[in-house]
Amino acid sequence: MAKKRVAVTGVGMTKQRSSRPDVTGIELINEAVRAALDDAGITRKDVDAIVIGNMDHFEGINYVDTWSVDGNGALMKPIMKVCTGGTTGTTVAMAAYYHVASGLFDKVLAIAWEKNSESDTTGAIITAFDPFWDRPCFAGAVAGLALEATQYMAETGATEEDAAYVAVRDRKHALLNPYAHLHINLTIEMVMESPYLSWPVKMGDMCPRTDGACALIFASEDVVDEFPHRPAWILAVADRHLWAYTSDPYVNQKMVGGTWFPAMEKATEEIYSKVGITDPLNQFDLAELYLPYSFAGLRYMESLGFCDRGGGPELVRSGATDLGGKCPVNPSGGVLSSNAIGATGLLRVAECALQLQGRAGERQVPNARLALATGFGGCFWSDELILGVDKPEKPRG
């Protein structure tokens, strides 16, 4: 049980770019860390503990916690690294939350980053797969997602054009975010005409590879008044993991009771019951979802309870998830516009915090009070966090 209520009180990030040869990983981390400290009006000396995360194999460097100590601010402080694949950034956020919620630390710095330009992402990602049953046949992330897309289309009748709506929506939102990597005014036709990578997934459906870092300050209810910005409270967190082999997350549903996307649905059930969410489309003011490719923007809406199974395409085409709609999804431009993989989950939480603090610039959702952030990956794992403007009446967990 949580002992303290926890809020995000400082946000820092680098601009997300395809390649940052002008800085090393340590220096990239430092850009985000200094931005977060400045934003929170504190210095390195004020930080009680640090959580950092990325995916080791994308830079070929282990012990990122100690290797990057010059940049991460952890000299002679407690630091731990977490790495849970695509969910790394949200797991970093949750681990920082646990640090503070436990009552053991008041001010915790959460850092997540990646320099995808420094390796072959597809080649490196194969190390996440089982050496006997998956690796001899399989490669990369695109095909694994494509297997999910094929199954989704066969079960619901959703089309490639439905998915293209998601790709266009998130890229349009990114035009309003100077920190986003891709700034392309895409059209449905451009997505549909882009080359297939692995049918039915096309170039226009996929996230880019990005260099970038993000850092957040998590603070205890006892110290939030020391910070210049109003707190973005963490109302609850939940996560579920499911994966041994490539086929498990969405096909081998019998293993976990036959649900549609078990990890996401079980995490959702838990977090919604903690916060009292019964009608997410109307209750949330925005959602920052880890959508690694366009089809996820249909299917996840169903698993997150925004619509019934098979209802994703109609919901997205209605405009309800556009900026200006009932519940904008990915006002930041999302993962489809920036994907520095380790940082990606933390960027979702960062955007929720900025929106709740009224600091999201041109993409600000008016009067945003309640926001959902998700992490995907690791693979087909689900991390979820709900953030709000109103201080929760008690610590929730």
Residues that bind another protein (CB under 8 A): 21-22, 60, 122-123, 126, 131-134, 136-140, 142-143, 146-151, 154-155, 195-201, 244-248, 250-252, 254-256
Q: In the complex, what is the shortest distance from the CB of residue 343 to another protein, in angstroms, rounded to a whole number?
A: 21
Encoded tokens for 142: 């695109």
**Nearer to another protein among residue 252 and residue 283 (C-beta):** 252
**Nearer to another protein among residue 188 and residue 255 (C-beta):** 255
Strands 232-240 and 370-377: unpaired
**Nearer to another protein among residue 126 and residue 175 (C-beta):** 126
Q: In the complex, what is the shortest distance from the CB of residue 123 to another protein, in angstroms, rounded to a whole number?
A: 6
Q: In the complex, what is the shortest distance from the CB of residue 61 to another protein, in angstroms, rounded to a whole number?
A: 10
Q: Which helix (H) or strand (E) holds 232?
A: strand 232-240
**Nearer to another protein among residue 46 and residue 248 (C-beta):** 248
The 3-state DSSP class for residue 210 equals coil
Asked whether the beta carbons of 395 and 106 are under 8 A apart, the reply is no
Asked whether the beta carbons of 286 and 328 are under 8 A apart, the reply is yes
The CA-atom distances, in angstroms, between 382 and each of 65, 215, 385 are 24, 21, 10
Q: In the complex, what is the shortest distance from the CB of residue 239 to another protein, in angstroms, rounded to a whole number?
A: 17
Q: In the complex, what is the shortest distance from the CB of residue 332 to another protein, in angstroms, rounded to a whole number?
A: 28
Instruction: For the chain, state the CA radius of gyration.
Output: 19
Q: In the complex, what is the shortest distance from the CB of residue 190 to another protein, in angstroms, rounded to a whole number?
A: 18
Q: In the complex, what is the shortest distance from the CB of residue 23 to another protein, in angstroms, rounded to a whole number?
A: 9
**Nearer to another protein among residue 50 and residue 201 (C-beta):** 201
Chain centroid offset of residue 247 CA: 23
**CA gap 133, 325 in Å, rounded:** 44
**CA gap 248, 235 in Å, rounded:** 31
Asked whether the beta carbons of 171 and 184 are under 8 A apart, the reply is yes
**Nearer to another protein among residue 1 and residue 154 (C-beta):** 154
**CA gap 376, 241 in Å, rounded:** 10
**Nearer to another protein among residue 44 and residue 135 (C-beta):** 135
Q: In the complex, what is the shortest distance from the CB of residue 62 to another protein, in angstroms, rounded to a whole number?
A: 11
**Nearer to another protein among residue 123 and residue 228 (C-beta):** 123
**Nearer to another protein among residue 152 and residue 376 (C-beta):** 152
Q: In the complex, what is the shortest distance from the CB of residue 30 to another protein, in angstroms, rounded to a whole number?
A: 17
The CA-atom distances, in angstroms, between 161 and each of 125, 154, 189, 198 are 28, 14, 9, 16
**CA gap 259, 132 in Å, rounded:** 27
**CA gap 151, 338 in Å, rounded:** 26
Per-residue DSSP letters for 292-361? Answer: SBTTHHHHHHHHTTSS-TT-HHHHHHTTTTSTTSSS-B-TT--TTT---HHHHHHHHHHHHHHHHTT--G
The 3-state DSSP class for residue 81 equals strand
**Nearer to another protein among residue 123 and residue 397 (C-beta):** 123
**Nearer to another protein among residue 175 and residue 203 (C-beta):** 203
Q: In the complex, what is the shortest distance from the CB of residue 256 to another protein, in angstroms, rounded to a whole number?
A: 7
Tell me the backbone φ, ψ of residue 212, rounded to 5 degrees. 180, 165
Q: In the complex, what is the shortest distance from the CB of residue 129 to another protein, in angstroms, rounded to a whole number?
A: 9
**CA gap 180, 360 in Å, rounded:** 13
